[in-house]
Amino acid sequence: MNADPFIYKITPRKAWERAEAAHRFDGAPIDLEDGYIHFSTRGQAAETAAKHFAGQDDLLLVAVRSEGLGQALKWEPSRGGALFPHLYSPLDLTHVEWARPMPLVHGVHQLPLAQ
């Protein structure tokens, strides 16, 4: 479904620090409300940041290896019919490759994808 081996989660740093302390990420309030953890692909991440996190500072972009997430990972239509990765379980942090800051520069989040 996704040529990139990673899916990406945008989250406030404090929420991620709580996840690290718990060794799992249960999701942000919107994830808990919807019943799954929202992720984006590499190509969707910038639009997700602009649409859902505009002006928010101190965010992290978390790269998650999608292989091994099993049947809990579903690709479902969302914005404009595009397929988005949704995880129907808590995220075990052993699947996380990295979490990097997304600095705001002139009101635009800088995505650390090329690092």
Tens digit of each residue's pLDDT (9 = 90 or more) over 6-21: 999 999 999 999 999 9
Judging by beta carbons within 10 Å of its beta carbon (0-12, 13-18, 19+), is residue 58 exposed, middle or buried? exposed
Which architecture characterizes domain 6-106 according to CATH?
Alpha-Beta Barrel (3.20)
Cβ atoms of residues 69 and 31 within 8 Å: no
Instruction: Output the pTM of the full model.
Output: 0.93
User: Is pLDDT above 80 for 65?
Assistant: yes
The domain spans of the chain are: 6-106
